[in-house]
Amino acid sequence: MKRLLTPILYLGALTLNAPLLSQEAALKRPPAPVLKKGEKQLFVDSVMIRSKQGVTRVIHPAKKLEHPVLTADMPWEVRTVGGIIDKRVNIYGTVLRDEKTGTFRMWYADAGSVLYANSSDGIHWERPVLKVKGATNETDLRLHSPSIIEDKFETDPAKRYKAVGNASTGVDDAKLQRLKDKFEMVDWYRDKTQRLYYAAHSADGLRWKVDPEPILLGCDTITLSQDPVTGEYLAFHKRQGDPRVIGIRHVFLSVSKDMKHWSEPHPVVVADEVDNKATRKLKGGTYSEYYNLSAFPYAGQWLGFVTHFRRVEPPSALFGNDEVNGRKRSATGIIDVQLVTSRDGRHWHRCSDRSPVIPLGPHAYDAGSIFGLCNAPVIVGDEMWMYYTASTTPHGGLAPEKEQSIACAAWRIDGLASLKAKDKPGSIETHEFVPEGSKLTVNADVKSGSLAVEVLDADGQVISGYEKETSMIEKRDSVKLAIRWKDAEALPAGKPIRLRFHLLNGDLYSYVID
**Which pLDDT band holds residue 18 (cuts at 50, 70, 90)?**
very low
Residue 496 has pLDDT above 90, yes or no: yes
Q: How far apart are CA 290 and CA 251, in angstroms?
A: 6
**Which pLDDT band holds residue 8 (cuts at 50, 70, 90)?**
very low
Residue 5 has pLDDT above 50, yes or no: no
Q: pLDDT, tens digit, for every residue of 239-295? A: 888 888 877 889 999 999 999 999 999 999 999 999 999 999 999 999 999 999 999
H or E stretch covering 317 = helix 316-319
Q: How far apart are CA 144 and CA 140, in angstroms?
A: 12
- Identify whether the C-beta of residue 58 lies closer than 8 Å to the C-beta of residue 353: yes
Give the residue, 14 or 44, on which the prediction is more confident.
44
Identity at 497, one-letter amino acid code: I
- Identify whether the C-beta of residue 483 lies closer than 8 Å to the C-beta of residue 441: yes
Q: How far apart are CA 38 and CA 282, in angstroms?
A: 45
- Give the dihedral sign, CA 180/183/187/193: negative
Cα→Cα distances 405→86, 87, 100, 391, 441, Å: 12, 8, 29, 7, 39
- pLDDT at residue number 13: 30
Q: How far apart are CA 291 and CA 239, in angstroms?
A: 9
- Give the dihedral sign, CA 81/192/245/231: negative
**Contacts of 401 by beta carbon, 8 Å cutoff, 6+ apart:** 324, 392, 393
- pLDDT at residue number 168: 74
Q: pLDDT, tens digit, for every residue of 145-163? A: 999 999 999 999 999 999 9
State the average pLDDT over residues 180-196: 86
Q: How far apart are CA 481 and CA 442, in angstroms?
A: 5
Range 139-157 burial, b when 16+ CB lie within 10 A, else e: bbbbbbbbbbbebeebeee
- pLDDT at residue number 11: 28
- Give the dihedral sign, CA 382/150/224/146: positive
Residue 441 has pLDDT above 50, yes or no: yes
Q: Which residues pair with 197 in a beta bridge?
A: 166, 216
Q: What is the CATH number of domain 63-414?
A: 2.115.10.20
**Which pLDDT band holds residue 24 (cuts at 50, 70, 90)?**
low
**Which pLDDT band holds residue 169 (cuts at 50, 70, 90)?**
low
**Which pLDDT band holds residue 27 (cuts at 50, 70, 90)?**
low
**Which pLDDT band holds residue 65 (cuts at 50, 70, 90)?**
very high
Q: How far apart are CA 336 and CA 208, in angstroms?
A: 32
Q: How far apart are CA 101 and CA 51, in angstroms?
A: 43
State the span(s) of the chain assigned CATH 2.115.10.20: 63-414
Pick the CATH number of 7-60+418-513 from 1.10.10, 2.60.120, 2.70.70, 1.10.150: 2.60.120
State the span(s) of the chain assigned CATH 2.60.120: 7-60+418-513
- Average confidence score pLDDT of the chain: 92
Percent of the chain with pLDDT over 70: 93
